[in-house]
Amino acid sequence: MTCAFCSSDSGLAEVIATPRDDVVILCAQCQDGVSGTPAVGPHWQCLNDAIWSEDNAVKVLAYRTLHKLTDAAWVRDLLDIAYLEPDVEDWAKAGIVEVSDLVHKDTNGTVLTSGDTVVLIKDLPVKGAGFTAKRGTAVRGISLVPDNAGHIEGRVNGQRIVILTEFVKKS
Protein backbone atom coordinates (compact mmCIF):
# COMPACT_ATOMS: atom_id res chain seq x y z
CA MET A 1 0.00 0.00 0.00
CA THR A 2 1.35 3.46 -0.94
CA CYS A 3 0.29 7.10 -0.81
CA ALA A 4 -2.22 7.89 -3.57
CA PHE A 5 -0.41 11.18 -4.29
CA CYS A 6 3.34 10.61 -3.95
CA SER A 7 3.65 6.78 -3.70
CA SER A 8 5.43 6.98 -0.31
CA ASP A 9 5.00 3.88 1.85
CA SER A 10 5.53 5.46 5.29
CA GLY A 11 3.14 7.22 7.65
CA LEU A 12 0.05 6.11 5.77
CA ALA A 13 -3.47 6.83 6.97
CA GLU A 14 -6.96 7.08 5.57
CA VAL A 15 -8.29 10.51 4.54
CA ILE A 16 -11.97 11.06 3.82
CA ALA A 17 -12.97 12.96 0.66
CA THR A 18 -16.11 14.72 1.87
CA PRO A 19 -19.02 15.06 1.30
CA ARG A 20 -19.20 11.61 -0.36
CA ASP A 21 -16.97 10.07 2.34
CA ASP A 22 -14.74 8.12 -0.04
CA VAL A 23 -11.46 6.99 1.54
CA VAL A 24 -8.00 7.79 0.13
CA ILE A 25 -4.69 6.51 1.57
CA LEU A 26 -2.12 9.31 2.00
CA CYS A 27 1.28 9.70 3.67
CA ALA A 28 1.72 12.15 6.58
CA GLN A 29 3.05 15.00 4.40
CA CYS A 30 0.21 14.69 1.90
CA GLN A 31 -2.32 14.44 4.74
CA ASP A 32 -1.00 17.73 6.14
CA GLY A 33 -1.36 19.36 2.73
CA VAL A 34 -4.92 18.15 2.28
CA SER A 35 -6.05 19.18 5.77
CA GLY A 36 -3.99 22.35 6.22
CA THR A 37 -2.10 24.91 4.24
CA PRO A 38 0.66 23.21 2.25
CA ALA A 39 3.87 25.12 1.62
CA VAL A 40 4.78 25.34 -2.04
CA GLY A 41 7.65 22.96 -2.67
CA PRO A 42 8.91 20.13 -4.85
CA HIS A 43 6.92 17.49 -2.95
CA TRP A 44 3.68 18.73 -4.50
CA GLN A 45 4.84 17.98 -8.05
CA CYS A 46 3.26 14.58 -7.32
CA LEU A 47 -0.12 16.25 -7.90
CA ASN A 48 0.74 16.31 -11.63
CA ASP A 49 -0.04 12.58 -11.65
CA ALA A 50 -2.68 12.50 -8.90
CA ILE A 51 -5.04 14.88 -10.71
CA TRP A 52 -5.22 12.33 -13.58
CA SER A 53 -5.92 9.34 -11.29
CA GLU A 54 -8.61 6.81 -12.20
CA ASP A 55 -9.95 7.16 -8.62
CA ASN A 56 -12.34 10.11 -8.39
CA ALA A 57 -11.66 10.61 -4.66
CA VAL A 58 -7.92 11.02 -5.40
CA LYS A 59 -8.73 13.54 -8.15
CA VAL A 60 -10.98 15.48 -5.74
CA LEU A 61 -8.32 15.72 -3.02
CA ALA A 62 -5.62 16.60 -5.57
CA TYR A 63 -7.84 19.34 -7.03
CA ARG A 64 -8.53 20.80 -3.58
CA THR A 65 -4.84 20.71 -2.64
CA LEU A 66 -3.85 22.37 -5.92
CA HIS A 67 -6.29 25.18 -5.14
CA LYS A 68 -4.36 25.82 -1.92
CA LEU A 69 -1.09 26.13 -3.90
CA THR A 70 -2.16 28.65 -6.54
CA ASP A 71 0.87 30.90 -5.88
CA ALA A 72 3.00 28.62 -8.09
CA ALA A 73 2.82 29.07 -11.89
CA TRP A 74 2.94 25.30 -12.55
CA VAL A 75 -0.15 24.85 -10.34
CA ARG A 76 -2.16 27.43 -12.29
CA ASP A 77 -1.09 25.74 -15.54
CA LEU A 78 -2.09 22.31 -14.24
CA LEU A 79 -5.47 23.58 -13.05
CA ASP A 80 -6.04 25.13 -16.49
CA ILE A 81 -5.56 21.79 -18.28
CA ALA A 82 -7.02 19.42 -15.65
CA TYR A 83 -10.37 17.98 -16.59
CA LEU A 84 -12.85 16.58 -14.10
CA GLU A 85 -16.25 15.22 -15.04
CA PRO A 86 -18.93 17.78 -14.06
CA ASP A 87 -20.19 15.74 -11.09
CA VAL A 88 -16.62 15.13 -9.85
CA GLU A 89 -15.79 18.83 -10.24
CA ASP A 90 -18.90 19.74 -8.20
CA TRP A 91 -17.76 17.26 -5.53
CA ALA A 92 -14.27 18.78 -5.51
CA LYS A 93 -15.57 22.35 -5.32
CA ALA A 94 -17.91 21.42 -2.45
CA GLY A 95 -14.86 21.19 -0.18
CA ILE A 96 -13.13 24.40 -1.31
CA VAL A 97 -13.56 27.63 0.61
CA GLU A 98 -12.35 30.47 -1.56
CA VAL A 99 -9.65 32.36 0.29
CA SER A 100 -10.91 35.58 -1.27
CA ASP A 101 -14.22 35.05 0.56
CA LEU A 102 -12.47 35.14 3.95
CA VAL A 103 -10.93 38.23 5.46
CA HIS A 104 -8.50 37.72 8.33
CA LYS A 105 -8.47 40.71 10.71
CA ASP A 106 -6.46 41.40 13.84
CA THR A 107 -7.93 42.59 17.12
CA ASN A 108 -8.11 46.19 15.81
CA GLY A 109 -9.85 45.21 12.57
CA THR A 110 -6.74 45.60 10.41
CA VAL A 111 -6.72 43.17 7.48
CA LEU A 112 -3.96 40.53 7.73
CA THR A 113 -2.22 39.03 4.72
CA SER A 114 0.07 36.05 4.37
CA GLY A 115 3.66 36.98 5.31
CA ASP A 116 2.70 39.76 7.74
CA THR A 117 4.28 40.20 11.15
CA VAL A 118 1.96 40.30 14.14
CA VAL A 119 2.47 40.83 17.87
CA LEU A 120 0.67 38.83 20.56
CA ILE A 121 -1.47 41.04 22.78
CA LYS A 122 -1.88 38.49 25.57
CA ASP A 123 -0.04 35.53 27.09
CA LEU A 124 -1.26 32.40 25.32
CA PRO A 125 -0.76 28.88 26.68
CA VAL A 126 0.21 26.60 23.78
CA LYS A 127 -1.63 23.32 24.16
CA GLY A 128 0.53 20.25 23.63
CA ALA A 129 3.78 22.20 23.45
CA GLY A 130 4.26 22.89 27.16
CA PHE A 131 5.02 26.61 27.00
CA THR A 132 3.25 29.96 27.07
CA ALA A 133 3.63 32.39 24.19
CA LYS A 134 4.26 35.70 25.96
CA ARG A 135 2.51 38.98 25.26
CA GLY A 136 4.61 41.17 22.98
CA THR A 137 6.11 38.23 21.07
CA ALA A 138 6.50 39.04 17.37
CA VAL A 139 5.33 36.34 15.00
CA ARG A 140 6.89 36.87 11.58
CA GLY A 141 5.78 35.46 8.25
CA ILE A 142 2.32 34.34 9.28
CA SER A 143 0.17 32.22 7.01
CA LEU A 144 -3.61 32.44 6.85
CA VAL A 145 -5.77 29.42 7.58
CA PRO A 146 -7.74 29.14 4.33
CA ASP A 147 -11.03 27.93 5.77
CA ASN A 148 -11.19 29.96 9.01
CA ALA A 149 -10.92 33.76 9.15
CA GLY A 150 -10.33 33.62 12.91
CA HIS A 151 -7.11 31.57 12.68
CA ILE A 152 -3.58 32.25 11.49
CA GLU A 153 -0.44 30.12 11.71
CA GLY A 154 3.04 31.17 12.76
CA ARG A 155 6.20 30.10 14.58
CA VAL A 156 6.67 30.83 18.26
CA ASN A 157 9.64 29.31 20.12
CA GLY A 158 10.39 27.16 17.07
CA GLN A 159 6.92 25.59 17.11
CA ARG A 160 4.39 26.15 14.33
CA ILE A 161 1.13 27.01 16.09
CA VAL A 162 -2.36 28.18 15.25
CA ILE A 163 -3.19 31.56 16.77
CA LEU A 164 -6.60 33.19 17.08
CA THR A 165 -6.65 36.53 15.27
CA GLU A 166 -8.40 38.16 18.22
CA PHE A 167 -5.13 37.86 20.20
CA VAL A 168 -2.82 39.57 17.69
CA LYS A 169 -2.22 43.02 16.24
CA LYS A 170 -0.44 43.76 13.00
CA SER A 171 2.92 45.46 13.42
Considering the domain architecture, whether residues 166 and 105 belong to the same structural domain is answered as yes
**What is the tally of structural domains in the chain?**
2
Residue 41 has pLDDT above 60, yes or no: yes
5 falls within a domain = no
Same domain, 124 and 163: yes
Structural domain contains residue 36: yes
In this structure, the answer to whether residues 82 and 153 fall within a common structural domain is no
pLDDT digits (tens, 9 = 90+) for 56-111: 999 999 999 998 886 678 888 898 899 999 999 999 888 765 545 578 899 999 99
Helix ranges (DSSP H) in 28-156: 28-35, 47-50, 56-68, 73-81, 86-94
143 and 74 in a common domain? no
Structural domain boundaries enclosing 143: 101-170
- In this structure, the answer to whether residues 91 and 124 fall within a common structural domain is no
CA distance 67 to 87: 18
Predicted TM-score of the model (pTM): 0.57
Asked whether residue 153 is domain-assigned, the answer is yes
8 Å CB contact between 134 and 150: no
Question: What's 112's domain CATH number?
Answer: 2.30.30.40
The answer as to whether 3 is a domain residue is no
Angle between helices 73-81 and 56-68 (to 10 degrees): 140
Q: Do 31 and 61 fall within a single domain?
A: yes
Partner residues linked to 144 by β-bridges: 152
Write the single-letter amino acid at 1: M
Share of residues in the chain with pLDDT > 70 (%): 95
Span 150-164, average pLDDT = 91
Q: Is the peptide bond before 19 cis (omega within 30 degrees of 0)?
A: yes
